[in-house]
Amino acid sequence: MTERDRGSTRERLRGRRRFLAGLGAAGIGGLAGCSGLLGEDGADGGGAGNETSAGEAGFGEFRGSGPLAEDREELQGTRIADLPDLSGELTIYLGGGEGGLYRDLLARFQEIYPEFTVNPRESGTADAANTIISERDATPADVFWSVDAGSLSAVANEGLTASLPSEVVDPVPEEFHPDDAWVGTAGRARAVPYNTNELSADDVPDTVMDFPETEGMASAMGWAPTYGAFQAFVTAMRLIEGEDATRQWLQDMVDAGVSEYNNEFLVSNAVADGELNAGFANHYYALRVQASRPDAPLDLAFTSGDAGALINVAGAAVLGASENTQLANTFLRHLLSAEAQEFFATRTYAYPMVEGIPPVGGLPSIDELNPPSIDLSELSDLQPTLELMREVGVL
């Protein structure tokens, strides 16, 4: 990317960087129904409601509560009523499970379709992937639904997933269904939560590689190196910038006094508390902090075209050993229905994967974020990243 391109992107994003501050106490408070986030514990408290047929299912049955879920009338996409019925039984390995939100969505589908039964098995993303790889063709799983693209790709790289048909993958941008081995169901963007009492949007560099040398940033930054999302970010940096440059960046951040936290929700809270000027975290953690602390001096900035702008996804794959391929494919189409995408957008603050369902809260679109051109399947190559981080002393 040229300097002119970077400047143009910065100008385009500048009006979007202060979206949290614009919401204020009235705009984001009271989002108890939206606190279950990607990779975090804590489920949405709402039940699935009364039994509803596919033809009667509306966005109200799926949408989260609170101001961010309001005024979302002009929604498009394939509706559940337009899809074939779900009928039969599926065993689904859940990698992560969205703190119970995946179970909530499955319950909604089973209420809409009384003849549809799900047997979910929940575990961590890596554990679920390793179980499938160990079981291979003997796995009882029909579908692997995971919050992490790397775990999906690890299973696909073993040749254990079925190729998804066009009616499943066509609504989703190509980069989020590599080789049609799995398909993204919800996205999350790398972001820089920053304290608005200490920094402005213009103080945040446009490229993550500049952070160690930026005044007011490196000496008061936080990260969560044991967290999977951070390791995926470093993996993307290694693939884009090269191993030597990534090693130097990690070392420069350590030398500059970056602070370590156990997870990125804690990083975002520390920024809001004034312990940090800024940090590295997925975008939705700042929204979660603001949900409980609407007056917190917290906002988001985004880098452009580099690892700091990575868009990772939750996604699902149909396993090649499944004897219920048609039903499994129809289930994936339901995950990409307008109703399910609205569920992800308003209950997890995730980026929808289909056109016609916007992200919440004035978040910039994926195109506006200018993510790097990277094959998400390569994020499964995690071992060199871990070795590099250990070499520097980050792990």
What is the pLDDT of the chain when averaged over all its residues? Answer: 84
Instruction: Pick the more confident residue, 135 or 62.
Output: 135
Angle at 109 between CA 104 and CA 111, to 5 degrees: 95
Q: Looking at the structure, do residues 114 and 37 belong to the same domain, yes or no?
A: yes
Output the pLDDT for position 46. 35
88 vs 39, higher pLDDT: 88
Confidence (pLDDT) at 366:
79
Asked if pLDDT for residue 32 goes beyond 60, the answer is no
Type of residue numbered 285: Y
Domain contains 51: yes
pLDDT at residue 55, rounded to an integer: 54
pLDDT of residue 128: 93
Contacts of 178 (CB under 8 A, 6+ apart): 153, 375, 376, 377
Q: Please report which confidence band the pLDDT of residue 182 belongs to, taking 50, 70 and 90 as the band edges.
A: very high
The reply to whether 222 and 328 lie within a common domain is: no
- Is 48 part of any domain? yes
- Higher per-residue confidence, 277 vs 228: 277
* pLDDT, tens only, 324-341: 999 999 999 999 999 999
Contacts for 64 with CB less than 8 Å, ≥ 6 apart: 31, 33, 34, 44, 46, 343, 346, 347
The answer to whether position 372 is within a domain reads no
**Same structural domain, 305 and 320:** no
94-111: per-residue pLDDT in tens? 998 666 888 999 999 999
For residue 248, give both structure tokens. 């130097």
In this structure, are 302 and 348 located in the same domain? no
Q: What DSSP state is assigned to residue 229?
A: H
* 370 belongs to a structural domain: no
- CA dist 355 and 190 (Å) reads 21
The answer on 70 and 18 residing in a single domain is: no
- Mean per-residue pLDDT, 385-391: 96
How many CB atoms lie under 10 A from the CB of residue 224? 23
Structure tokens at 343: 């569920």
Residues 176 and 317 in one domain: yes
**Cross-strand bridge partners of residue 118:** 90
SS3 content of the chain, % helix, strand, coil (to 5): 45, 15, 40
- Clarify whether residues 344 and 299 are in a common domain: no
Does 238 lie in the same domain as 199?
yes
Same domain assignment for residues 108 and 158: yes
Q: Are residues 233 and 130 in the same domain?
A: no
Q: At 44, is the pLDDT very low, low, confident or very high (cuts 50, 70, 90)?
A: very low
Paired tokens of 355? 């056109």
**Distance of alpha carbon 30 from alpha carbon 67, whole angstroms:** 8
CATH number where 173 lies: 3.40.190.10
Q: Report residue 307 as tokens.
A: 């690892």
For residue 117, what are the β-bridge partners? 89
Domain coverage including residue 207: 3-25+188-310+379-392
Give, for 236, the enclosing helix (H) or strand (E): helix 228-241
Q: What is the rounded distance in angstroms from the CA atom of residue 257 to the CA atom of residue 237?
A: 20
The per-residue pLDDT for 98 is 62
Q: How many domains does the chain have?
A: 2
- 322 or 6, greater pLDDT: 322
Strand ranges (E), the chain: 88-95, 116-123, 143-146, 183-195, 221-223, 259-260, 278-279, 281-282, 298-301, 311-318
